[in-house]
Amino acid sequence: MRDLVDPRSQKESQVLLAAALAVTRDQLRDHEDRILLPRDIYASYAKEHLSEFILQPPKVQVVQTLLIITLHEWGSRDFHRAWIYCGIAIRIMQALHSARVAPYPLDIPSPAPNDPLTLAVESRTYWACFIMDCTVNAGTYNPRMLPRTEMRKLRVGRPLSAVEFAFGPAAPPAAAEPSVSGPLDITQSFEIMVGGFDVWAQVMAFVFNDGRRAEGMCRAENCPWVEGTVWAELRRSLEEWRAGQHRRLLYPENSAAVHISLGYGESFTYLNLLYYVSTLMLHREYFPLLPEQDQIPRGPVDPCLQAEAPAGWWDESARELFGAAEKIARLLHETAECGGLLMTPFVGFCAFTACCMNLYVSFFPRMNLGRSPDAAKLMNWTLDYLKEFQSVWKLGSGWIKTIQNTSLLYERAAANRSRYRGKSRSDFNHLHQSLHEFRNVDRSDQHLQEINSAETPTEPLPTPTDPPTTSTTAGGEQPPADASALLGQMLAEVSSGTDEQVVWPNWWSMLEDVDMTGSFGGVMNA
């Protein structure tokens, strides 16, 4: 961007660079790491100057910096600050957009220049605000500031494709809806991501507003297999979004390695994670938190649905649920092997969610009719990822504790299910809440209190790192030996591990048009 080398914007450019270093500093290789200051210095520098910029005439670099700092604060578990920074970014972007489109002058100077490239950068940044708004409000019970309907009203131009951005658009992007026909390809991945985060945010809102336990949701007319219900409409929106993508974007039909070799590995990963984590969360809502030993897929018991599902519906739901968990784990493992591992809160949440479901089916294999033979290995892979994630972001420690406490519950139940006979999701409300949380509040004490209070001990209880003693699976066979052994070994290792992630992330490709040329000089001397 021209503004980054413009003396009038040099200060904003330096602050933008400092924010970028604050989120990437701890993910660099050793030889790159040695020439940089600690990440907190970059973050403090950026936040100090942002307090000066936010009340000045709006600039797109300030919005971009605020979005990056939002990510930093979220990963650092300062959720309130992240929410506030995101809100400020949106307000500044709204002011910038209003000054651009208002038919009469406003109280701020009109932004300049007005060329197609500048408009494209502003449009992409506005949609970056939309995506960040989807994430920071996911599961917080707060309304989104930028729902999709509002973006349509504001007539924010659609994000340009990579090709359009490189060679210039034929015309300024004037419509918020796609202007192309046919499936969108990888060069239009940012536009696809916008739709995916919108659907995922709606799924999260459904789950956090009591989901199937909301008033009236158990009635026959509101069951998930009935057309027009909340669940069915969310599923339809998700599948329509998926159907609008080119076949080469679909995993596992296409490998991450190919897309990484072309420079689109991050986009490919995000698109598929969005689809599979949304699928997982929709189906998980109707599965029991703690199944019986001999239970096969069927509906919830707390409370029961007031209608019988069509034949085979629960079996297919289980296939999609645990299949999604498997694909998330395999995709993250494949990207890691190719050197394209992503370290962002959303990707961490996907790994955590997949790990929990692979843990579940490791102890209760009949809940997927024995179709998850690699569950323990897949759980191992996602724990490997979370170990790396925890070394970069504090956010990971809460997810690790939740996995550890969930493992404790499943180990005890597998050892002797009679201890928890008749217990259901309502007996583990805090643990259930933590299994769904993107912002992840540490509720370990409440988890352990629920687990201990819900049972009637009949023999010494295993601890989170003890292997189960007499556990058997629903089919009478011994559970996967590596499930409990893995957790004992891996969770202890994860708790103390501090290995550095060695990949420079491209998490902020939503701002990939920013050119840092000339910005390093004097970054900390201004």
Q: Where are the domains of the chain?
A: 1-167+177-187, 210-455
Question: Which one has a higher pLDDT value, 182 or 130?
Answer: 130
Q: Give the burial class of 517: count Cβ atoms within 10 A of its Cβ; 0-12 exposed, 13-18 middle, 19 or more buried.
A: exposed
DSSP letters, 474-503, are: TTSSPPPHHHHHHHHHHHHHHHH--PPP--
Question: 3-state class of 184 per DSSP?
Answer: strand
**Token output for 311:** 């034949």
290, 362 in Cβ contact below 8 A? Answer: no
Listed residue (127, 19, 106, 24) closest to 57, CA to CA = 106
pLDDT band at 31 (very low <50, low <70, confident <90, very high): low
Dist CA 202 CA 133 (whole Å): 12
Give a three-class secondary structure readout of 423-459. CCHHHHHHHHHHHCCCCCCCCHHHHHHHHHHCCCCCC
- Give pLDDT, residue 303: 87
pLDDT band at 8 (very low <50, low <70, confident <90, very high): low
Please state the φ and ψ torsions of residue 415, each to the nearest 5 degrees. -70, -35
Please state the φ and ψ torsions of residue 107, each to the nearest 5 degrees. -85, 5
What is the reported pTM? Answer: 0.86
Question: Which one has a higher pLDDT value, 2 or 227?
Answer: 227
> How many angstroms from the chain centroid is the CA of residue 271?
11
Query: For the residues 357-373, what does the mean pLDDT come to?
Result: 97
The answer to whether residue 458 scores a pLDDT higher than 60 is no
Residue-averaged pLDDT of the chain: 85
Dist CA 209 CA 202 (whole Å): 11
- Give pLDDT, residue 477: 43
Cβ neighbors of 271 (< 8 A, separation 6 or more) are 189, 192, 193, 196, 245, 249
DSSP conformation class of 58:
P
> How much of the chain, in percent, has pLDDT values that exceed 90?
65
Query: For the residues 362-379, what does the mean pLDDT come to?
Result: 97
pLDDT in tens, 77-123: 999 999 999 999 999 999 999 888 888 877 767 666 778 888 889 99
Dist CA 329 CA 376 (whole Å): 11
> How many angstroms from the chain centroid is the CA of residue 388?
16
Give a three-class secondary structure readout of 96-153. HHHHHHCCCCCCCCCCCCCCHHHHHHHHHHHHHHHHHHHHHCCCCCCCCCCCHHHHHH
Question: Which one has a higher pLDDT value, 507 or 234?
Answer: 234
Dist CA 495 CA 512 (whole Å): 34
Give a three-class secondary structure readout of 394-415. CHHHHHHHHHHHHHHHHHHHHH
The residues facing 184 across adjacent strands are 245
- Give pLDDT, residue 32: 63
- Give pLDDT, residue 358: 98
177, 158 in Cβ contact below 8 A? Answer: yes
The answer to whether residue 207 scores a pLDDT higher than 90 is yes
The answer, yes or no, to whether the previous bond of 464 is cis (omega within 30 of 0) is no
194, 131 in Cβ contact below 8 A? Answer: yes
> How much of the chain, in percent, has pLDDT values that exceed 70?
81
Cβ neighbors of 42 (< 8 A, separation 6 or more) are 18, 19, 21, 22, 25
Largest CA distance in the chain: 78
- Give pLDDT, residue 166: 84
Dist CA 517 CA 258 (whole Å): 29
The answer to whether residue 170 scores a pLDDT higher than 80 is no
The answer, yes or no, to whether the previous bond of 252 is cis (omega within 30 of 0) is yes
pLDDT in tens, 389-438: 999 999 999 999 999 999 999 999 988 888 898 888 899 999 999 999 99
